[in-house]
A and B are shown apart, each in its own frame.
Chain A
Amino acid sequence: MTTQRPTLVELAQQLEAGDVSSRELTVGALARIQAGGDGLNAFINVCPDSALAAADAADACRARGNAGPLTGVPFAHKDIFCTQGVTTTCGSRMLENFVPPYDATVVARLHNAGLVTVGKTNMDEFAMGSSNETSYFGAVRNPWDTERTPGGSSGGSAAAVAAGLVPAATGTDTGGSIRQPAALTGITGLKPTYGRVSRFGMIAFASSLDQAGVLALSAADAALVLQAMAGFDPHDSTSADAAVPDYTAGLNDDLKGKRIGVPSEFFDAGLDSGCEQAIRAALSELEQLGASIVEVSLPHLGLSVPTYYIVAPAEASSNLSRFDGVRFGHRADGAETLEELYKKTRQEGFGAEVKRRIMTGTYVLSAGYYDAYYLKAQQTRQLIADDFRKAFETVDLIAGPTTPTPAFRLGEKTDDPVQMYLNDIYTIGVNLAGLPGISVPCGFAAGLPVGLQLIGPHFGESVVLNFAHQYQQATDWHRQVPGAGQ
């Protein structure tokens, strides 16, 4: 595999200088994807006709002098975002033939900013998974080692960006689904504050946790895309009505005098020693850039996985009750009663992991169990969020690993759902507390990328982007390309 991987900022400069047209970039991206994307299975659907039309429109817009920083750059959307007239499957047989009659707000905003959508990326079914293996359309492969997972649930977006098929793509992060695949594929993944980016048209998994974000090659690239995505949306009842700052303005702020909290709980027995070495080295690098490291404690962090696996399935069981074979999506043949229609449709339309989560959620919400499970989990969620709140009284940023291990082998954790769930042990707390977090490449363990997780306070996207950008100015881990020497 030979990978040319210009960043979004570099492509924007080439477009601005007239060195290349959007049509040329788009034709190139489509060719790489249609050539099989190096066997990664990163895309569920490619849309050449609408992409070329959008590219020509972007070139015309630039010729008129109306181009913005993203105009004409090829881009991909996770297949969880509704795209008007373009099939949106959410990685599920249930929505195999679903053609949304409207665009998600994120899709519309990025289209208006001039990005050219070349296709929809593969994902775990309904975003439920950490390895992309629950997709009805088959697992995605990691461009660093095609026998390994790219992570999930935004595994298609991560693999596509890491392999240089597109410079950036959207993802969603409910328990780590942007940061974990970014870590496992050696790219940059930003999960904004809950409510920062609209959820409208983003197929719902767990509504109090779901947040859209971006997978890209650098923090500077992520800042540009976030700028176009973020902001209040009246169509999303939990959209934050807060001003959107200029995310590129603070990228070059000095880290001198800033305080980084490092939770001891992030360095427990489960952390791979190669990952730990890379993370400790990254923390030293940040110290050399002028930040000071202080120990903080998140004593309830260990409760985040069990808390999440009550809250998220409970919300999922409610959200996914809409898939009933009546108004849209798959319908089973031959049902003689309405109840049989529901049951057969859902048996055929959902995969095993989705059904497990629906049943877990149904159980914890059922009569007699609500207080013991759901109410209890809402209380432990509060304890976890309080830990972060207290820590941010004394530090600007919290840092640690994104994942306990580098990319694992496909098939390695599919037999035991709990082993798979524990892979998200360092990312889930951030979702429960609604905080922004980013994963940036910080080295290798056994030849596989390691991700450094940087967590900010609510609406602190500028803070995490500033730290990430400064780190990337001083290091070149984010410039390492898969395939060299393979």
Chain B
Amino acid sequence: MSLSRQDVEHIAHLARLQVSDDELDEYVAKLSRILELVAQLGAVDTAGVTPMAHPLEMGQRLRPDEATETDRRELYQENAPDVVHGLYRVPKVIE
């Protein structure tokens, strides 16, 4: 399984990662190598095997829909890079 430069550019875009031109060739080579490794699974007969999503046979736990946490917005926003009047500021999205 070999990826092209265009494939890697597309994957990087989906992952919201900027990749410079000089990094691109290395990603092409190393990601292709990783995909070669995982492509081994293609040869395994898995007909009728139930996909395993979770290592323990347990269902998703539910809880009553009740508020259990207090509002700690200001505390949490202390870690934000740019906050104005309690709002996260980002570059303009709508012209």
Contact = CB atoms under 8 A, between A and B. Distances in A.
A96 to B, nearest CB: 12
A303 B49 CA distance: 15
Interface stretch (A285-293, A353-361, A465-473): A353-361
Contact of B76 (A101, A343, A366): A101
Q: Describe A's contact surface by its main secondary structure.
A: helix
Interface string B25-43: 0010011011111111110
A383 B49 contact: yes
B44 A303 contact: yes
Residue in B16, B35, B39, B44 with the greatest tally of chain A CB atoms within 10 Å: B16
A382 interface: yes
A310 B49 contact: no
A208 B79 contact: no
Contacts of A327: 76, 79-80, 88
Contacts of B16: 321, 324, 339, 342-343, 346
Interface in B10-69: 11-12, 14-19, 27, 30-31, 33-42, 44, 46, 49-56, 58, 60-61, 63
A254 interface: no
Given A306-B41, A307-B41, A383-B44, A432 B17 contact: no
Residue in A300, A306, A328, A375 with the greatest tally of chain B CB atoms within 10 Å: A306
B58 A362 contact: no
Interface residues of A, number: 73
A343 B18 contact: yes
Contacts of A335: 91
A310 B38 contact: yes
A362 B7 CA distance: 12
10 closest Cβ contacts across the A-B interface? A434-B55, A378-B51, A331-B81, A328-B79, A379-B46, A343-B18, A382-B52, A347-B18, A379-B49, A362-B15
Interface of A: 98-99, 101, 193-195, 208-209, 234, 237-238, 240-241, 300, 303, 305-307, 309-310, 317, 321, 324-331, 335-344, 346-347, 350, 355-356, 358-360, 362-364, 366, 372-373, 375-383, 385, 416-418, 421, 432-435, 458
